[in-house]
A = this chain, B = another copy of it.
């Protein structure tokens, strides 16, 4: 490891089902984030099928990539194609030995679990139990969160291999124990702490941050800070991760980026719009109600995502049909006739109607053309009308044309709805 560089780590995720494209991997991103926060540079995330040769090749690749740590997920079950322990033992150059304590521990779990069901043979269970209690010599076994134990396996010359189960809940549940295993703890002692800084912007394209960074870079060398950007839920998340020794400079860059794009700034500590909105509503003692057409309940659902949301979510109406708009939210039929169901007027009537029907303090109305059909020249696919109104008389209205597919338009509408609610509820300067 060169001076000023972070030690490298890799994630190897096993599972043939990840290579058919029918499921996306949850473990790679989760482990990568944890490793980054511990101060590692994540060299790569590698998804391989349940084939021993491929897993062995993946492990050798982490050596070539100069990794001091590799975390694997999956392949620890009781069936014949669960081969991770065996392949990792061979990679570390040691044999598998039966861990008697672990065998007892697993037997106890099995007795309480599915083994209690009589349709399974005692013999098959004993076989599975024994297989899962085989541990590479010299490794630390981690107690199961489900039924599969994890492993921390030192390899002479490195890397250290941390072997975790595939189900995300088991993997995440076992992580604290893995961190406490002596070989991992020792490795962590030599890793410079990460001091990552976050920024969040709404409505700012990634290219604008890139342009600002290029401009700064022409004046001062930015290479001490790794900047990554990520667009999610309509927000641009910017992450500044200083290399060892560059923390002060990262702080200055963080402040400069926030100042340059103040108009679009959501937070300087990574707090999301959702969290800021919840805080603002709680602080004001406000409740919110929704009147949704094209988003079809997506905005209400997003508001309810947060634990404790019953304190500020009154409810909502999905008024997908014109009749529903009129009957349930009191949108005048003549208004729909005159301006169309997708119009700033109807958006406002949806907001007011929702606020009044639910007795809420703030209402939001969304109506738009999500597509793929139903667009006209005047109101093309992606045209969406928003309105947020409050009992105090505040009215915030927008009617942008949003790009993308039906689901893109609906998701972006939800993002913008959350943003407008925050604008209405946030403490005013």
Contact = CB atoms under 8 A, between A and B. Distances in A.
B36 A43 contact: no
A372 B306 CA distance: 10
Grouping DSSP codes into helix (H, G, I), strand (E, B) and loop, the A interface class, with mixed when no group exceeds half, is: mixed
B48 A44 contact: yes
Nearest to A9: B19
A321 B34 CA distance: 37
Contacts of A242: none
A212 B134 CA distance: 26
Contacts of A54: 43-44, 65
Contacts of A23: 29, 230-232
B19 A44 contact: yes
A321 B287 CA distance: 11
A389 interface: no
B237 A22 contact: yes
A79 interface: yes
A235 to B, nearest CB: 11
Contacts of A29: 18, 21-24
Contacts of A214: 79
B44 A21 contact: no
Nearest to A12: B44
A290 interface: yes
Nearest to A239: B20
Interface in A298-327: 298-301, 303-305, 307-310, 313-321, 323-324, 327
24 contacts: A16-B228, A19-B32, A19-B36, A19-B42, A20-B36, A21-B30, A22-B232, A44-B46, A45-B46, A61-B61, A290-B297, A292-B297, A296-B301, A296-B313, A297-B301, A297-B304, A297-B316, A298-B301, A301-B318, A305-B410, A307-B406, A316-B320, A317-B328, A328-B358
Interface of A: 16-26, 28-34, 36, 42-49, 54, 57-58, 61, 64-65, 79, 114, 169, 207, 210, 214, 226, 228-232, 237, 239, 241, 290, 292, 294-301, 303-305, 307-310, 313-321, 323-324, 327-328, 357-359, 371-373, 404, 406-407, 410
Given A20-B241, A44-B47, 20 more contacts: A16-B228, A20-B33, A20-B42, A20-B230, A21-B29, A21-B31, A22-B33, A23-B29, A24-B26, A25-B25, A46-B46, A61-B64, A295-B304, A297-B299, A304-B320, A307-B373, A307-B406, A310-B321, A316-B317, A328-B357
